[in-house]
Structure 1
């Protein structure tokens, strides 16, 4: 059945339930960015397989909203589907909620799966719909009725992360939560976000591709806590370890009945931006919900000494793998057939040679030439381009190691550069170096520093349609909140946090010229303390990623002396840290790549 057929069947079910519109987010029951196949309802109904997007279906039309990373991809994948693409954030493009309100008839109904939307979203949409005497209906799960061969909801084997890697015991972390509850006189603390739960309990799993988390809910009480997860995901020894720390295991779906059992009048901490609506719907009517940004998200973002030391080890291993790959590619391009997919597979093979390597931290983005201009391009059998001795290969990849999570983008020049290619590559490189070398007073958020990365491009009248950087977890999600570099100020608690020593954030400016090429250069950087004087505590960054930039793509005449010094210093460290792990041929090549510019 094609997309039009699926939508027709879906609309029949909407009509039976007397729903005028239906909302389909890209989500699981936990607000995860990446989701398992069971939850890919939006992809099933639209054909668009990007990692971000929202679909609204009416009886007459359908619209899909996505961000700048996916404009080109969505345009292509929605062709012939009858679904209109709405480019979020662009001038003149109607916002999703405005579209819902505009299309909603008086007294109508908006349908959705209440487990797939947050309580904050539900409350906001109900307020908006009330102006038309319309309402929100959160059952049944229509997708199950239409998606006949829907994948199973799997609960894979989980494991416990030792303190050698975590750096802090789960008892210590739970004690922090209980002190927080005691301070605010609360009886229950509910966590819905999978990476928060994994960090707090020092557990890891395999329920979401690339993100080592466990499909679960957690309720912390004053003396014990309940972990709602799949049956038999822990072995007997692991269960005993958890039970010894007061963690009681329950079935995954039992959280909804458990929510009904809260004593009336209890004070419950739950972040309405992350807890799913269906859980809250099951609370007793007079439950007092304290809506606060989870402190766990904040604690998790500040890596401890053990995590930092381990992350540095992980990035040396990852840097060796990526450096060896670049040398291999430069040496073999034009001598054998190499495609976008086979190049990514070759890099994965290099990573697999590293000790304690567990797998990729996200699906590889390997875009050659014009494909590189599609920000989150994913090669398929139909689009898999053969690499030639010309243009750029944009390669955005990452790895999960026992020692931490990596994320790196290098844009690799294949053949001789053009002046245009060097012009834009050098501008992006300058932005990357400027941000990494920024010095700032404590109290700044990433909003204050985004300009450092964009300035070289803004001076040229150019920009990139994505954030400059995101937080990265420790053996967790490659995208972690809430530290970030962006120039837009976001509303809501915890959205623009102060940059703290120990936070790991990506530094990834870029430029994307449709039909030509894309350039992105990404390092992970660690926030550190610098000088403290009468003016206050100054802060800065240290690079974690050590892989050379492409020497042939750099136009040194565009760079001032300070920028050249920064580049030379970085390349000196790359050679010092990476060369001991290379063979003589690779080492000789790296030495030439890292030679200082005059």
Structure 2
């Protein structure tokens, strides 16, 4: 069926359920950012493939909300569907709620599939709906009535993730979590976040593309823990190890029943941001809603993880050296499709030890495609790269010993003065954030301005956050910390802490022309200038393009930082290179602005 036909069939189902509007989010029952094919409901009914965005369907109108990273993509993918794009002013803000409540008449009914909404999301929705007596109705599986040949649930097999890499046993982690439970005076802690379960139990799988997690829930009690997972997904040896750690198994679909039989005298703690609304009505136990116990613990990497993070950056830098050397040589002789470049990048990473896949689909944006922030090249529609113009490449790898995420922008041929100005302003922002020293307790929204101030002074800006947390062989976008323009998200409101790893990725995008982004990962460390301050250490190791820099716009301090960074890069990568790749790296790491 076409998108219009799917929406028509969906409206028939909505009418039979007695709902005036249906909200379709992009997440799964675990509030995952990226989801398995089975839960790409919003994509099925809209055609929009971006990772962030929400669809609202009414009897005579359909609207999709997404943020500026996806405006160009959404306009293209929604064309001809009859769906109207509503441009979010603030990334991840629930701006659809106010619009929907203003649009619907009094005592209307909004349908939701309860499993796809957290108790926090429903509470926010109800707070607005109550003003007009609008009813929220659970219409679980309404999408399945319309979605023909819906993909099955993911079925990859879980495996034990060796403590050699992650540095802490599942027994130690469970003890740490139980200590926090004791502080909160709760008997049970229910965990929905797939990455949190994977971290806590030291297990991995590939139930979501690019993210090594397994479809499951976990109930941690004072003396035992229960993992809700389909039995065949856990090999016997892993079952034995989990049992030895006090973890028993129950079926994934038995989780609702298990929660409902917890006695009323017990207390159960949940993360209000990912505990499914579908579980709440049947609970007898006293429900304590808060924020994740695991998230802030997981965000601070231990010494083993930090050591591996540093070594994996060397491997990733070597792979990228092979790749960019190949790219620059090849484009001199023939044109290249964006998809061929993406495939070649994956190939060079795959040659590195312990590589398990990309941490997200590579973004290879040539010229105007680089201005589409989360662009993804498709074989039939991608651009052809010639030996002239700007190219933005944002990519990352999943290795057993760490996760990487890096963006570099290059130019074939001679860049224009305007391109060099824009690139230099972005670079200055990257360096300003990288070199900041700040008091403990400083949040992401306070630091975000450092990356933007040089662009702002030129009347320019970019429409996405400046950075996100990064997991260790887990989610490439890991909460809570990061850098954002508002406190709507955790990235803006969370304080930076020593041991966390975050991306630093300011950019500039000229619609219809080119995109620029420069991204390194940074480890938050104690500041050497004051024991009550923190700072950052750049752990990504790969040259930043210097041919695009207008040195007249750079300060002596910025030039010195860049030259020192390139010395580090060459010292780290060159011992593993030889011949033309080593010469290529030497050339890219030459000092600039030095007479």
TM-score relative to the length of structure 1? 0.97
Deviation at 1:487, TM superposition (A): 2.7
SS of structure 1 residue aligned to 2:116: coil
SS of structure 2 residue aligned to 1:551: coil
The more displaced of 341-350 and 120-129 is 120-129
Q: How does 1:123-522 map to 2 (within 5 A)?
A: 123-284=123-284, 287-490=285-488, 496-522=493-519
SS of structure 2 residue aligned to 1:131: helix
Distance 2:151 2:562 in 1: 48
Distance 2:391 2:281 in 1: 49
Distance 1:159 1:90 in 2: 39
Distance 2:481 2:100 in 1: 31
1:584 and 2:582 correspond: no
1:45 alignment partner in structure 2 = 45
Contact 2:486 2:492 in 1 (8 A): no
Distance 1:135 1:336 in 2: 61
1:524 alignment partner in structure 2 = 521
SS of structure 2 residue aligned to 1:186: coil
The more displaced of 415-424 and 8-17 is 415-424
Distance 2:313 2:68 in 1: 29
Distance 2:572 2:360 in 1: 25
SS of structure 1 residue aligned to 2:394: strand
Contact 1:86 1:94 in 2 (8 A): no
1:571 alignment partner in structure 2 = 566
Contact 1:371 1:517 in 2 (8 A): yes
Distance 1:174 1:184 in 2: 15
How much is the aligned-residue C-alpha RMSD, in angstroms?
1.6
1:553 to 532, 548, 554: 548
- Count, aligned residues: 592
Contact 2:527 2:533 in 1 (8 A): yes
Q: How does 1:90-105 map to 2 (within 5 A)?
A: 95-105=95-105
For each residue in 1:200-242, what CA deviation from the matched residue of structure 2 results, as whole angstroms up to 9, or x when unmatched? Answer: 1111111000000011111100110111112211211110000
Contact 2:443 2:492 in 1 (8 A): no
Deviation at 1:301, TM superposition (A): 0.3
SS of structure 2 residue aligned to 1:460: coil
Deviation at 1:130, TM superposition (A): 2.5
Distance 2:75 2:340 in 1: 26
Contact 2:114 2:140 in 1 (8 A): no
For each residue in 1:444-486, what CA deviation from the matched residue of structure 2 results, as whole angstroms up to 9, or x when unmatched? Answer: 1222211221111111110000000000000000000011012
Which stretches of structure 1, 4 residues or longer, exceed 6 Å deviation after superposition?
none
For each residue in 1:66-97, what CA deviation from the matched residue of structure 2 results, as whole angstroms up to 9, or x when unmatched? Answer: 01100010011111111110000179x99300
The more displaced of 564-573 and 176-185 is 176-185
Distance 2:169 2:542 in 1: 33
SS of structure 1 residue aligned to 2:257: helix
1:15 and 2:21 correspond: no
Distance 1:41 1:490 in 2: 25
SS of structure 1 residue aligned to 2:481: strand
SS of structure 2 residue aligned to 1:531: coil
Distance 1:267 1:234 in 2: 29
Deviation at 1:182, TM superposition (A): 1.6
Deviation at 1:495, TM superposition (A): 6.4
Contact 1:504 1:526 in 2 (8 A): yes
SS of structure 2 residue aligned to 1:289: strand
Deviation at 1:491, TM superposition (A): 6.8
Contact 1:446 1:486 in 2 (8 A): yes
Distance 1:198 1:90 in 2: 31
Give unpaired runs (5+ residues) of structure 2.
none
Contact 1:391 1:414 in 2 (8 A): yes
Deviation at 1:54, TM superposition (A): 0.4
Distance 1:386 1:118 in 2: 43
For each residue in 1:39-87, what CA deviation from the matched residue of structure 2 results, as whole angstroms up to 9, or x when unmatched? Answer: 0110110111111100000001000000110001001111111111000
SS of structure 2 residue aligned to 1:115: helix
Contact 2:30 2:274 in 1 (8 A): yes
The more displaced of 404-413 and 548-557 is 548-557
1:544 and 2:543 correspond: no
For each residue in 1:414-472, what CA deviation from the matched residue of structure 2 results, as whole angstroms up to 9, or x when unmatched? Answer: 12111111111111111111211111222212222112211111111100000000000
Distance 1:337 1:532 in 2: 50
The more displaced of 212-221 and 581-590 is 581-590
Contact 1:531 1:537 in 2 (8 A): no
Distance 2:271 2:500 in 1: 22
